[in-house]
């Protein structure tokens, strides 16, 4: 056992450092790599790095590039071996890992090209075995890997070692798991285009590196990380074999760490400071575990379940139960914009002003609708001035088939001989592009714009269902998105000032946003950071002092009950309105059949989440509603009001 481990970390079998943000984590990892490279260079030795792809290491590579440019970090003495490559993709394919590495790192630093090794995706099938052995030999010949950088897939894979990979597995050809292919579908514009096979270093190959650094960001990695770090070692989660390595460390951000025991149930691993938020978490999770309403919890329920210290601090279960019950009760409101002329001392939203200016930010069309369509409907119904801002057009998410259909419609219209010939020409050009496009060709600027129109039209139609005034539905088309592509977004000051200008114009009493726990390189994650920065700069504006900021949950993960600070109930009729609104985003329906245990469509997921939240409130002993949308106040600096 690791003696440097604290009591709180006792369940963790991989040393884990948790950082407030991925930026903080990559700075630490990059600095350690730079130190190693410099020390070894001084001794005229090479540094052999094992590298990974995916969104996770992108920021690390950016930091290394910055150090190369600004701090003279040289890669002349660095030799690299990449973990894996899709089988069947040529190195210049836009989605090949070789291409990814060129764009994200290699072409920006002074690494000699002969020092770079990425498995060749074009090795013919009969030669793969010999090729993989040769790859391993080259690693040995280089002196073995000094450090291997790793991400983790949602199946628990490292490299492409899918569930079923043993700890002794070596570099080889593997077939890709369904969930992995689904996760890659966005990059490949459809699951059908994702290669079925890959060449990957084995778990055994990885374990031979002298040092391992596992990186992970965002709440979508939280549960698999918990299994890999705290669970038993098992082939069903290949990352769990990292526990065997004497020098493996994970570097993760707070959302990714949220399922670890020390964050999930900290009272079970040491003394805790019983802050009100932690008390609520403990009581709610006790009630949920014992399947009892809060008001029926007894003293012995607390003391027999590791919560004796909480009882000591709070006196008796009787007063504690009532306190938490009331807290939960006070989060429920049908008046998300505040209830006029009512006592608001126990309501989440102040009564005044009775008519509020509300600013809702949606990273892409559909995000706000999934998270809070019912609440939007109520806010409009209660007469508030609601402005819905789509930060990006979401045009990258429109499949060609949808564009083809819309072009078909336009063609019908332009058949008219009096139609504008210029317009006809443009439509024809779009039609030709879509018809002749190969799956991996980039869209022209015109086609991308057109796909944006499709999403905007869908968004407007869905807003009409909610009763929103379309003159208050704004498409900001932030430059980071419109000029970027997945994994290559570069947010800038321009994005921040567009958001800031809008806030100054509206001077809202309420702001709604999302993305706090998202992968920081996703559209949602980037949008959240931009909003955070923009709102931080508005901090001293008069309106900002009285503005409440609410965060709605992402479709993939509803807020846990103890974190909810406002729950807006939806009647059966309101839930139908929400679903009607969501159905208008037809270009976003899933392109692939359902996976077991996963609701395939995002609107099914949203409906499910909203129903589950209502059931959880009900089981805790509160009123039984059909469904509920949930919000929490922001705790982020700059957003914390």
Cβ proximity to ligand GLP, 150 vs 566, nearer residue: 150
Using the rule CB under 6 A, give the single segment among 145-153, 163-171, 224-232, 383-391 that binds ligand GLP.
145-153
Cβ proximity to ligand GLP, 53 vs 613, nearer residue: 53
Assess contact for 37 and 47: CB atoms under 8 A: yes
Assess contact for 389 and 396: CB atoms under 8 A: no
Using the rule CB under 6 A, give the single segment among 63-71, 151-159, 358-366, 383-391 that binds ligand GLP.
151-159
In 3-state terms, what secondary structure has residue 153?
coil
The C-alpha atoms of residue 612 and residue 615 are separated, in whole angstroms, by 5
Q: If binding is defined by CB under 6 A, does position 136 make contact with ligand GLP?
A: no
Strand order of the β-sheet with 147-150 is: 15-19, 248-253, 211-216, 147-150, 47-51, 78-82, 116-117
Q: With contacts defined by CB under 6 A, how many residues of the chain interact with ligand GLP? A: 13
Cβ proximity to ligand GLP, 197 vs 583, nearer residue: 197
* Residue 543: CB minimum distance to ligand GLP, A: 38
629 in catalytic set? no
* Residue 159: CB minimum distance to ligand GLP, A: 5
Write the interaction track for ligand GLP spanning residues 176-205; mark x where CB under 6 A is met and - where it is not. ----x-------------------------
DSSP class of residue 360 equals E
Q: DSSP letters along 69-136, please?
A: HHH----TTEEEEESEEETT--TTSTTSHHHHHHHHTGGGS---GGGEE---TT--GGGHHHHHHHHH
Q: If binding is defined by CB under 6 A, does position 155 make contact with ligand GLP?
A: no
The C-alpha atoms of residue 528 and residue 518 are separated, in whole angstroms, by 8
Cβ proximity to ligand GLP, 331 vs 521, nearer residue: 521
Using the rule CB under 6 A, give the single segment among 147-155, 227-235, 318-326, 395-403 that binds ligand GLP.
147-155
Using the rule CB under 6 A, give the single segment among 146-154, 286-294, 571-579, 610-618 that binds ligand GLP.
146-154
Cβ proximity to ligand GLP, 30 vs 566, nearer residue: 30
The tokens of 180 are what?
């992995």
What residues contact 1, with CB distance under 8 A and at least 6 apart?
none
* Residue 111: CB minimum distance to ligand GLP, A: 20
Indicate the helix (H) or strand (E) that contains 250: strand 248-253
SS3 assignment for 452-482:
HHHHHHHHHHHHHHCCCCHHHEEECCCHHHH
Q: Return the residues of window 28-57 that contact ligand GLP according to CB under 6 A.
A: 52-56
Cβ proximity to ligand GLP, 180 vs 331, nearer residue: 180
Question: Which of 50, 119, 121, 153 is in the footprint of ligand GLP by CB under 6 A?
Answer: 153
Q: Is the peptide bond before 192 cis (omega within 30 degrees of 0)?
A: no
The C-alpha atoms of residue 311 and residue 292 are separated, in whole angstroms, by 18
In 3-state terms, what secondary structure has residue 163?
coil
Question: Which of 51, 64, 152, 237 is in the footprint of ligand GLP by CB under 6 A?
Answer: 152
Cβ proximity to ligand GLP, 525 vs 569, nearer residue: 525
Question: Which of 19, 61, 100, 160 is in the footprint of ligand GLP by CB under 6 A?
Answer: 160
Tell me the C-alpha to C-alpha distance, in Å, between residue 148 and each of 84, 206, 428, 540: 12, 7, 51, 45
The tokens of 352 are what?
């005044």
Return left, alpha or beta for 143; rule: phi > 0 is left, psi -120 to 50 is alpha, else beta. Answer: left
Indicate the helix (H) or strand (E) that contains 17: strand 15-19
Question: Which of 50, 119, 121, 159 is in the footprint of ligand GLP by CB under 6 A?
Answer: 159
The C-alpha atoms of residue 569 and residue 575 are separated, in whole angstroms, by 9
Strands (DSSP E) found in 376-493: 385-390, 473-475
Cβ proximity to ligand GLP, 212 vs 320, nearer residue: 212
* Residue 199: CB minimum distance to ligand GLP, A: 11
Among the listed residues 63, 85, 95, 162, the single catalytic one is: 162
Write the interaction track for ligand GLP spanning residues 509-548; mark x where CB under 6 A is met and - where it is not. ----------------------------------------
* Residue 100: CB minimum distance to ligand GLP, A: 10
Q: Work out the end-to-end distance of the chain between its first and last CA atoms, rounded to an integer number of angstroms.
A: 43
* Residue 52: CB minimum distance to ligand GLP, A: 5
Residue with tokens 């399947």: 291
Q: Return the residues of window 340-379 that contact ligand GLP according to CB under 6 A.
A: none
* Residue 148: CB minimum distance to ligand GLP, A: 11
* Residue 57: CB minimum distance to ligand GLP, A: 7
Cβ proximity to ligand GLP, 180 vs 395, nearer residue: 180
The C-alpha atoms of residue 212 and residue 32 are separated, in whole angstroms, by 12
* Residue 54: CB minimum distance to ligand GLP, A: 3
Cβ proximity to ligand GLP, 195 vs 338, nearer residue: 195
* Residue 557: CB minimum distance to ligand GLP, A: 15
Assess contact for 575 and 610: CB atoms under 8 A: yes
**Nearest to 31, CA basis, from 122, 164, 147:** 147
The C-alpha atoms of residue 553 and residue 443 are separated, in whole angstroms, by 31
* Residue 613: CB minimum distance to ligand GLP, A: 27
The C-alpha atoms of residue 244 and residue 229 are separated, in whole angstroms, by 11
Cβ proximity to ligand GLP, 52 vs 332, nearer residue: 52
Tell me the C-alpha to C-alpha distance, in Å, between residue 72 and each of 76, 146, 149, 373: 11, 21, 22, 51
| 477: exposed, middle or buried (Cβ count in 10 Å: 0-12, 13-18, 19+) | middle
Q: If binding is defined by CB under 6 A, does position 83 make contact with ligand GLP?
A: yes
* Residue 190: CB minimum distance to ligand GLP, A: 17
Residues that bind ligand GLP (CB under 6 A): 52-56, 83-84, 151-153, 159-160, 180
Active site residues: 162
């Amino acid at each position: 056992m690791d003696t440097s481990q604290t009591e709180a970390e006792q369940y963790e079998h991989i040393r884990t450092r948790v950082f407030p943000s991925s930026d903080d984590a990559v700075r630490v990892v990059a600095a350690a790599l730079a130190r190693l490279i410099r020390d070894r260079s001084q001794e005229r030795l090479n540094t052999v790095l094992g590298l990974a792809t995916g969104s996770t290491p992108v920021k690390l590579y950016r930091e290394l590039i910055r150090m190369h440019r600004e701090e003279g970090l040289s890669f002349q003495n660095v030799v690299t071996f990449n973990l894996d490559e899709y089988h069947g993709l040529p190195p210049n394919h836009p989605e090949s890992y070789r291409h990814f590495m060129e764009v994200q790192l290699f072409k920006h630093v002074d690494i000699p090209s002969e020092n770079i090794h990425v498995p060749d995706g074009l090795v013919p099938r009969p030669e793969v075995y010999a090729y993989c052995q040769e790859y391993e030999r080259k690693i040995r010949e280089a002196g073995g890997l000094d450090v291997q950088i790793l991400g983790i897939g949602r199946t628990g894979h490292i490299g492409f070692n899918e569930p079923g990979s043993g700890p002794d597995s070596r570099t080889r050809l593997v077939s890709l798991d369904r969930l992995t292919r689904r996760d890659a579908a966005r990059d490949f514009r459809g699951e059908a285009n994702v290669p079925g096979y890959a060449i990957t270093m084995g778990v055994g190959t990885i374990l031979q590196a002298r040092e391992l650094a596992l990186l992970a960001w965002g709440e979508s990695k939280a549960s698999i990380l918990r299994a890999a770090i705290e669970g038993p070692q098992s082939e069903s989660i290949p990352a769990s074999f990292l526990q065997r390595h004497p020098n493996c460390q994970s570097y993760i951000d707070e959302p990714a760490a949220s399922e670890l025991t020390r964050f999930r149930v900290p009272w079970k691993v040491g003394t805790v400071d019983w802050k009100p938020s932690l008390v609520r978490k403990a009581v709610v999770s006790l009630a949920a575990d014992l399947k009892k309403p809060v008001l029926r919890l007894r003293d012995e329920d607390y003391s027999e379940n590791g919560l004796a210290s909480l009882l000591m601090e709070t006196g008796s279960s009787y007063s504690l139960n009532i306190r938490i019950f009331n807290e939960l009760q006070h989060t429920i409101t049908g008046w998300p914009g505040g209830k006029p002329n009512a006592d608001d001392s126990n309501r989440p939203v102040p009564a005044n002003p009775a008519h509020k200016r509300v600013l809702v930010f949606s990273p892409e069309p559909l995000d706000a609708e999934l998270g809070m369509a019912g609440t939007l409907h109520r806010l409009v119904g209660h007469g508030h001035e609601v402005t819905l801002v789509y930060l990006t057009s979401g045009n990258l998410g429109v499949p060609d088939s949808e564009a083809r259909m819309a072009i078909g419609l336009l063609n019908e219209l332009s058949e008219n001989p009096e139609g504008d010939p210029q317009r006809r020409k443009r439509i024809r050009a779009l039609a030709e592009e879509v018809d002749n496009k190969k799956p991996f060709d980039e869209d022209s600027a015109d086609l991308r714009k057109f796909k944006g129109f499709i999403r905007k039209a869908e968004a407007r139609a869905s807003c009409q269902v909610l009763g929103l005034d379309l003159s208050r539905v704004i498409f900001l088309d932030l430059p980071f998105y419109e000029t970027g592509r997945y994994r290559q977004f570069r947010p800038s000051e321009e994005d921040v000032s567009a958001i800031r200008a809008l806030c100054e114009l509206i001077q809202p009493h309420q702001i709604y946003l999302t993305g706090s726990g998202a992968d920081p390189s996703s559209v949602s994650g980037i949008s959240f950071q931009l909003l955070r920065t923009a709102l931080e700069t508005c901090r001293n504006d008069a309106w900002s002092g009285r503005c409440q900021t609410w965060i709605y949950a992402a479709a993939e993960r509803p807020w846990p009950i103890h974190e909810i600070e406002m729950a807006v109930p939806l009647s059966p009729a309101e839930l139908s309105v929400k679903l009607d609104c969501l159905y208008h985003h037809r270009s976003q329906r899933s392109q692939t059949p359902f996976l077991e245990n996963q609701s395939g469509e995002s609107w099914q997921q949203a409906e499910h989440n909203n129903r589950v939240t209502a059931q959880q409130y009900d089981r805790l002993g509160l009123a039984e509603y059909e469904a509920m949308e949930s919000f929490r106040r922001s705790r982020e600096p700059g957003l914390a009001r």
